[in-house]
Amino acid sequence: MKLTKYLAVAVTVIAASLPSVSSAASFSCISNNTGSCATTVSPLMSWTLVGTQLSIFNNDSPTSGSFISGITFDYSTGMDVALNASQVAGVSYTMTSNDEAGIPNSLHWSVDEGAIHNKSGNKNAIQGGEKIVFTLSNVNLSNIGNSFKFGIHVQGLPQGESEKLVAVTAVPEPETYAMMLAGLGLIGTIARRRKAKSA
């Protein structure tokens, strides 16, 4: 009976930790103004969720001129998002109740909050090599793209174009599953040794 309890607790703890950590996850294009959004813009934007910290990255070159001008969030009751108090120097955004990423009506989002950079042009926006960090409440990795959605508006692309992208649900890395299986194996080994010792 004790062994069953220990295993149940261990599995619960490991499983609960899985949705909280992601490697760099991607965005999917919902516009194609450049004609090649999926191959040229989408791969340069990424996000991670570690615990309660959502980071959105512009992985383009610092000299590219691209910047994320606005971010939009759509989430379920009980969830929340706030700007992290600590940001990369030069990145400054304000939370609003507007659709700052310009998500098309065809996606049927119910906009809860937006974030927009604080200066005209690309000043204080997330430029190449920069990121922004948000603190989330009651959100885990399995919610992304479902009950918690977010999109970005990327501007400053070649020929003055811009693109709109939405976050794609991250799939945990194989290493995460390997760690979970190794942990379960270790727990099983300890349990067998204890059982043999008490017999």
Task: Quote the CA–CA distance of 170 and 78 in Å, as a whole number.
Answer: 22
Whether 187 contacts 10, CB under 8 Å: yes
**Is 192 part of any domain?**
no
| Structure-model confidence comparison of residues 122 and 142, the more confident one | 142
Per-residue model confidence (pLDDT) at position 32: 87
Per-residue model confidence (pLDDT) at position 34: 83
Whether 12 contacts 182, CB under 8 Å: no
> Domain limits at 120?
21-171
**Is 136 part of any domain?**
yes
Q: Please tell me the pTM assigned to this model.
A: 0.75
* DSSP-assigned beta bridge partners for residue 69: none
| 134 — pLDDT class (breaks 50, 70, 90) | very high
Average pLDDT over residues 96-112: 94
**Is 16 part of any domain?**
no
Work out the angle at residue 132's Cα, subtended by the Cα atoms of residues 129 and 137, and round it to the nearest 5 degrees: 150
- How many domains does the chain divide into? 1
**Is 180 part of any domain?**
no
Per-residue model confidence (pLDDT) at position 20: 47
Q: Residue 22, SS3? A: coil
**Is 109 part of any domain?**
yes
DSSP 144: B
Q: With 60 as the cut, is the pLDDT of residue 172 above it?
A: no
**Is 48 part of any domain?**
yes
**Is 12 part of any domain?**
no
Per-residue model confidence (pLDDT) at position 187: 76
pLDDT tens-digit series, residues 2-41: 555 655 555 555 555 444 455 579 999 999 888 889 888 9
CATH number at residue 154: 2.60.40
pLDDT tens-digit series, residues 115-131: 999 887 778 899 999 99
The alpha carbons of the chain give a radius of gyration, in whole angstroms, of 21
